[in-house]
Amino acid sequence: MPLECLDRETLVYPDNFINKVICGDSLELMKLIPAEAVELIFTDPPYAISNEVIITRGRNKMKFKGKDISQDFGDWDKFNSLEEFMDWTFKWLDEAVRTLRGGGMLCSYFDRDKVNFISRYLQDKYGFKCKGYYADLKSNPVPQARKVKWMNGWEIIGMWQKPGGKLTYNYQLGQAKDWGVRAIVGHTTKEDGERIHPTQKPISVAKKFISYWSNKDDIVLDPFMGTGFVLVGCKELNRRFIGIEKDTRYCQKAERRLMNTIGSLF
Ligand SMILES: C[S@@+](CC[C@H](N)C(=O)[O-])C[C@H]1O[C@@H](n2cnc3c(N)ncnc32)[C@H](O)[C@@H]1O
């Protein structure tokens, strides 16, 4: 599959979708996935938290080590207003809900300040049941240079079940906590001498979700895959996947990571 961004006329389900890195706009491309085709959605969408602030290190009294840290993650995270952002978010949620089988789980990173908007939307419009929130704790959060608040040391992942089918929850894997601790990926993981993705998430978190909320061979959808943390987790755990990303640079990195991952399904 070539990695140019493809328009929807060029793609056919399932041949161009299953176990593929798909480069393009997920709001358009998800429309080509049949209803109720996927067992689990796990994703990390834009949640409009970018700003112009650069946290400088090594030049102020706090003397942080390392490079400056930008809070500008890219144009993909910028919207003109909260209304515009939520409208866009509800559009992708509508398509995601359509592709998810009854009883399946939709799990998503989101801004802690806005996550209740999507929880209410899924429950009120579609009858989803909220299965709780996972706290993804960072052992090395970005320091607060301005000394006006605590460091932002955790991310939230909402978990919602679609009505109309049986839940997959692999309790036999053992009791699991709704939180976990990990290091920020971008600070420690480099590829070709550069940081992989400004908001890259760890494969270990993806694997925890995939292993509990899906079974071997199931299809897992990540419509905002970035550099493919969910896809790599799926390959390692023998799940099939559909991964969509609009930036070709991230698609290429996801492809490289998948090539270096061992899995038995493909
Ligand atoms: C928060 S990042 C995901 C990073 C990912 N978790 C990782 O570990 O690399 C969200 C991604 O969604 C992509 N994106 C934004 N809008 C999109 C759209 N309409 N269709 C497909 N991808 C989109 C962005 O390019 C960005 O890479």
Domain 8-259, architecture per CATH: 3-Layer(aba) Sandwich (3.40)
Substitution candidate for ligand 1 out of 5, 6, 76 with most atoms within 8 A of CB = 76
Please report which residue ranges of the chain form alpha helices under DSSP H: 26-29, 82-99, 115-126, 185-188, 203-213, 229-236, 248-259
Residue (of 235, 232, 239) closest to 214 by Cα position: 239
Residues 6 or more apart whose Cβ sits within 8 Å of residue 43: 96, 107, 108, 109, 221, 222, 223, 224, 225, 230
Whether 27 lines ligand 1, by a CB cut-off of 6 Å, is yes
Please write the tens of the pLDDT for every residue from 57-84. Answer: 555 545 455 555 667 788 888 899 999 9
Whether 111 lines ligand 1, by a CB cut-off of 6 Å, is no
- Helix 203-213 and helix 229-236: axis angle, to 10°? 50
* C-alpha 77 – ligand 1 centre gap (Å): 9
Pick the atom of ligand 1 nearest to 254's CA. Answer: 9
Average pLDDT, the chain: 89
Please write the tens of the pLDDT for every residue from 126-167. Answer: 999 999 999 999 999 988 877 899 999 999 999 999 999 999
Count the residues in the chain. Answer: 266
How far lies 207's CA from each of 9, 101, 108, 233, in Å? 33, 20, 14, 5
In the numeric block, which tokens belong to residue 27? 């709001």
Distance, in Å, from the CA atom of 159 to the CA atom of 130, rounded to the nearest integer, reads: 6
Shortest-distance Cα residue to atom 5 of ligand 1: 226
Query: Vertex 91, ends 86 and 92: CA angle to 5°?
Result: 100
Query: What amino acid occupies position 62?
Result: M
Q: How large is the average pLDDT for residues 184-205?
A: 74
Please write the tens of the pLDDT for every residue from 94-137. Answer: 999 999 999 999 999 999 999 999 999 999 999 999 999 999 99
Shortest-distance Cα residue to atom 26 of ligand 1: 226
